[in-house]
A and B are shown apart, each in its own frame.
Chain A
Amino acid sequence: MEGERVRTYTPKARRFARALVAVGIAGSMMLVAACGGSSDSSDSGAMEDDSGAMEETSEGGAAAEEAPAELTKVKYVQPWVIQGESAGQFAAVVQGFFAEEGLDVEIIPGGPDVRAGALLASGSADFAVMNPSGVFTNRQEGIPIVGVGGINQADGLLIMCKTSTGITGFKDLAGKKIGVWVGGGESGIQAATVKAGVAVDAVEWLPQKFSMEEFFNDAFDCASATEWNEKHVVYKEGYEAGKDVVELRPSDDGLFLPGDSIVALESTVAERPEIVQGLVTGTLRGWQWVCSSEENRKAGAQYTVDAAPDLDLDLQIIQVNEMCNLMSLGPAAEAGQIGDMVQSSWQQSADATLAIGLLEGPPDVPAAFTDQFVANVPADYRKITW
């Protein structure tokens, strides 16, 4: 023993150890209580804890009007973090369009890895906004969601190439490095490439981050961009359209792959058609209201900034303008109204999704959407006046 350090535990250490035991016991009680509590509320009340937290979101959007008791609460998942892309939905909340339909809508922001299909299937949310390709892949995975309303007639995805690459059209993409958002974002671009006579395998498709970094540092010959965001990020950096950058769009070649569409579970459509109707009517009315005047577009953008104060208002106004354009393109322009889900467009989307290998076989396109709700929306709420 001699020469060895003898450890003497100070009273403080002992006291701390005792406190730890107490904490452990208290913790165990808390855990037991929490487990007991959550099993009680696992069905209906599981989300109750956070509904308070998220109420801030909708309240931030100035949706703080006291909801009468008879309003049905629904959760509505957005395609991305809150931004101008969701301005119509926010307008419907703030302007009371959803409330008029008997709904108390809570807007849930999306994100890069939010799986809206799983959220609907698990009952964590009631409605979502996603592209038809997402509807097809979810259905393949056994999540029975259907499109119940169209927002954008084109998905708003384009590729931007520096003019120095010599690319002038999809026909020039052979052997080039093209950045795409893997998992659906590539479908329209690749379909357009095939349409231009270039085999998919002839192009080097590379996964792109959710930014334009690879475009700026020339890692890619062309990078994917959305009409409402990345495109404007590039021009903000001083690039000039036409002079420094070429924009290639599937819709320029007559390919209209629908973009943002309202989706719900088949069971919701079958069992609660009235809330589906309310949500579709409210959403289209929200967008019709937003797009109908310059002032309203600004207001719509402002609602998103109220909900997410870190956003840049000017960029949101740009986004709203692009959204209004995308929802009134092609088939919508012909019909003079927004909201239609066009069979041929959904078919093009199915073909494109199949072509990029996200589907094992051709999907049942007519089963993937229903236009019964859009058809019941009053014409005034769908009229393109811009």
Chain B
Amino acid sequence: MTTTVVGERGALSAKISKARKFFHSVWPAIIIAIIVIALWYVASNVWGLPKYILPSPDLILQEAIDNPNSLIRNGWVTFVEAAAGFSIGVVAAVFVALVLDSWRFLEKGTSPYLVIGLNIPIVAIAPAVIIWFGFGMASKVVVAAVLTFFPVAIYTLKGLKAADRREVDLFRVLSASRFQELIKLRMPSSLPFFFAALRVASAASVLAAVVAEFIQANAGIGYLILTAAYTNDTPRIWAAVAVSAGIALVFYGIVTLVERRVIPWHSSVGDR
């Protein structure tokens, strides 16, 4: 009986401390947001910053309230494109990293190009991708996948090589097979790198989808921004920017949650 009560209490206090921890980790961001929005409001309404440069936050909110369907519909299109591109990019990157890791020659031959790939300006490739993959969602997914692929491939490859030398020696002394070494040592030790890359790529994939839509599309946040700019509807532009930021935050949050569950032992996780 006593143990049950203690157990329940323990669970409750654990929950409370978890909530407290969460609060402590997010409140600085909330405070900063409040300060920025307040300054922004003052700049727009007191100092008279023109609407076409930066509309007041309440105008943006009003736009979101007036046209929620447009934001949701276009946001959903971008979300789907970015999510599909991100998934495809990650799968391809992991595969390529594993292949390059096990094939020294190929790795040496391709790694300079991976770095070049990391620096591809989206605006340069997007028109060509549209020619190759057509006018629908496919071309936007490909652009998002390309921008996800390079950072994830580079960092995963780096991570695969980051296992502690002594641990590698230990595996070899114990006659572990190369596959065992990969699965039990090098892959787990690459995970912090992998997740760091995922966090970067999660935001990049949303940006990539938006830019691709900006070039040619009939729906999506990029399209919404383009048409709103065209008609000088700045509150709508900023509402669309907010939605795109929201999507990127959701992606980032999901990656962080998965990371916490998978590599709780890593120092980078405890800090946050």
- Point out the residues of chain B lying under 8 angstroms from A31, CB to CB: 92, 95
Interface residues in B161-196 by Cβ distance below 8 A to A read 164, 167, 182-185, 187-189, 191, 194
Residues of chain A from 122 to 144 with CB closer than 8 A to chain B in the complex: 122, 124
Binding site for A on B (CB under 8 A): 50, 52-53, 70, 73-74, 90-92, 94-95, 97-99, 123, 126-127, 130-139, 164, 167, 182-185, 187-189, 191, 194, 214-218, 223-224, 226-227, 229-232, 261-265
Q: In the assembled complex, which residues on chain B have CB atoms less than 8 Å from the CB atom of A233?
A: 231-232
Tell me if A113 and B95 are in contact (CB < 8 A): no
Chain B residues near A54 (CB-CB < 8 A): 134-136, 218
Find chain B residues with CB under 8 A from A209 CB.
229
- The reply to whether the CB of A309 lies closer than 8 angstroms to some CB of chain B is yes
A53 beta carbon closer than 8 Å to chain B = yes
Does any Cβ of B come within 8 Å of A24's Cβ?
yes
Expressed in whole angstroms, the Cα–Cα distance for A307 and B227 within the complex equals 14
For chain A, the bracket of interface size reads 35 or more
| Residues from chain B with Cβ under 8 Å of A167 in the complex | none
A354 at the A/B interface (Cβ < 8 Å)?
no
Interface of B is mostly: helix
Whether the Cβ atoms of B52 and A16 lie closer than 8 Å is no
- Whether the pair B52, A213 counts as a contact (CB closer than 8 A) is yes
Chain B residues with CB below 8 A from A51, complex form? 134, 136
Report Cα–Cα, A56/B164, bound state, in Å.
54
Contacts of A108 in B (CB 8 A): 135
22 A-B contact pairs sorted by A residue (CB < 8 Å):
A9-B265, A12-B264, A13-B188, A13-B262, A16-B262, A17-B191, A18-B183, A27-B92, A47-B134, A81-B223, A81-B226, A81-B227, A109-B216, A113-B127, A114-B215, A122-B132, A124-B135, A210-B230, A211-B229, A211-B230, A308-B218, A312-B231
What residue in chain A is nearest B71 (Cβ atoms)? Answer: A310
Interface presence of A110 (CB below 8 A): yes
Q: Is the CB of B95 within 8 A of A237?
A: no
**Cβ–Cβ < 8 Å partners of B188 in chain A:** 9, 13-14, 16-17
Q: Does B218 lie within 8 Å of A50, measured CB to CB?
A: no
> Which chain B residues lie closer than 8 Å to A211 at the CB level?
229-230, 232
Assuming the contacts A27-B92, A210-B230, A212-B232, asked whether A14 and B184 have C-beta atoms less than 8 A apart, the reply is: yes
Closest to B236 in A: A310
Residue numbers in A under 8 Å from B139 (CB-CB): 50
- Chain A residues near B50: list those with CB within 8 A: 216-217
- Measured CB to CB, the closest approach of chain A to B167, in angstroms, equals 8
Q: Which of chain A's residues have a CB closer than 8 A to the CB of B231?
A: 229, 233, 312, 315
Residues of A within 8 A of B (CB): 7-10, 12-14, 16-18, 20-21, 23-28, 30-31, 46-47, 49-54, 56-57, 75, 81-82, 108-115, 118-119, 122, 124, 209-213, 216-217, 229, 233, 236-237, 307-312, 315
> Bound state CA distance, A311 and B231, in angstroms?
10
Q: Which residues of A contact B133 (CB under 8 A)?
A: 49-50
Q: Flag if A10 contacts B264 (CB, 8 Å).
A: yes
Q: How far is the CB of A189 from chain B (nearest CB, A)?
A: 19
Contact across chains for A111 and B70 when beta carbons are under 8 A apart: no
In the complex, A383 Cα to B127 Cα: how many Å? Answer: 38
Rounded to whole angstroms, the CA-CA distance of A75 and B214 in the bound complex is: 20
Cβ-defined contact, A112 with B215, below 8 A: yes
Q: Which B residues are in CB contact (< 8 Å) with A10? A: 263-265
A213 to B134, CA, bound (A): 32
Contact present for B52 and A216 (CB under 8 Å): yes
Q: Is the CB of B127 within 8 A of A115?
A: yes
A20 close to B135 (CB less than 8 A): no
Interface centre among A23, A51, A53, A315, by most B CB within 10 Å?
Answer: A53
